[in-house]
Chains A and B, each alone.
Chain A
Amino acid sequence: MRRLLYLLPFLLFIGVGVAFYLGFERDPRDIPSALIDKPAPTFDLPAIPGQMVQGQPATGGLSSAKLAGDVTLVNVFASWCIPCKAEHPVITRLSREQGVTVYGINYKDKPEDALTWLARNGNPYAAIGADQDGRVSIDWGVYGVPESYLIDRKGRIRYKHVGPLTPQVVEEQILPMVKHLRQG
């Protein structure tokens, strides 16, 4: 019995060591969102100035009213953001082939840069809101672009991904979640 007591500090040390070691596996940049399961913030963003939709100047940008109804993905992007370019093909496939409506929030971007970027890389977004001063993005809890949010049919935020979307994240997280939310 007494022997076991002497072992106790050693066992405690092992326990703490294992706990800290597992901590290395966690990404310190991945901060849990405070908005999960809460309604998406109320906002009304204008279109990117000069943006054309089917040959006409874009009339509206993106507002919270558009988000209710179907399960949608809101993607925060900017032309100056390198990982955004990396995830762009994944977003495009999600919108054109995998049947998910994707909305864009153009974060702190120059309109001409954003439009050039979209012309060069293609525009997979059903609508884009230009958040030039970043205030609306703060309401969304954005701290690093790109960020993507899944919105359910009632307009609540159900999932958040920080950093570029990869085919793996889409297959393992986004698509199953979309399927689940569509049923719910």
Chain B
Amino acid sequence: MKRILLAALLALSALSPAVTPALAVQPDEVLQDPALESRARTISQELRCLVCQNQSIDDSNAPLARDLRVLVRDRLKAGDSDDKVMEYVTDRYGDYVLLRPPFKATTLVLWIGPFAVLLLGAAGTFLFLRGRRGVAAGADTAPLSADERRRLDALLRKDD
């Protein structure tokens, strides 16, 4: 009996991500048209909630997030394209509301920075390794002097 119960519980917990919708979106906000609703969800996931900053408006329970979710749905119902809706919101709140920052002059460091650092590191490593190979090949070691050679020969002969 216990085993069956445990199995049932496990099965339930495995299923739950699929059956429980996001908590933030209230039933009364959901649009009748499933296609529009899914577009609204996608857009909402891209928009930052300005009150709790690191959540999307799709995840946030803040009243302003709800207002913006309803606004997004209203714009879609009015026939706006996805880009138009995004533009509507960024016109009012700036690029800051986009969870994925746009690629432009002011965000260049943000987008290019990590790759620039990676390239710099690769170049540094390459130069360092090339330098070491030179050492190993004896490129910058002076040849033995006559005195050194005589001592080396003496040491080698001792082993015989």
Contact = CB atoms under 8 A, between A and B. Distances in A.
**A29, A35, A134, A140, most chain B CB atoms within 10 A:** A134
Contact of B50 (A108, A135, A140, A143): A143
A140 B92 contact: yes
Contact of B92 (A28, A133, A134, A138): A138
A64 interface: no
Interface stretch (B5-13, B33-41, B63-71, B152-160): B63-71
A35 B92 contact: yes
B92 to A, nearest CB: 5
Given A135-B71, A144-B51, A32 B94 contact: yes
A22 interface: no
B126 interface: no
Secondary structure at the A interface, as helix, strand, loop or mixed, is loop
Interface in B91-118: 91-96
B42 interface: no
Contacts of A133: 67
Contact of B94 (A34, A135, A138): A34
Interface of A: 28-29, 31-35, 108, 133-135, 138-141, 143-144
Contacts of A31: 50, 93-94, 96
Contacts of A32: 94, 96
26 contacts: A28-B53, A29-B53, A31-B93, A31-B94, A32-B94, A33-B94, A34-B91, A34-B92, A34-B94, A34-B95, A35-B92, A108-B63, A134-B63, A134-B64, A134-B67, A135-B67, A138-B67, A138-B68, A138-B71, A138-B92, A139-B92, A143-B51, A143-B64, A143-B93, A144-B50, A144-B51
A33 B95 CA distance: 10
Given A138-B67, A138-B92, A143-B51, 16 more contacts: A29-B53, A31-B96, A33-B94, A34-B90, A34-B91, A34-B94, A35-B92, A133-B67, A135-B67, A135-B71, A138-B68, A139-B92, A141-B93, A141-B94, A143-B93, A144-B51
A143 B53 CA distance: 11
Contacts of B64: 134, 143
A35 B92 CA distance: 7
Contacts of A33: 94
A139 B68 CA distance: 11
Interface in B22-79: 50-51, 53, 63-64, 67-68, 71
Contacts of A28: 53
A140 B93 CA distance: 8
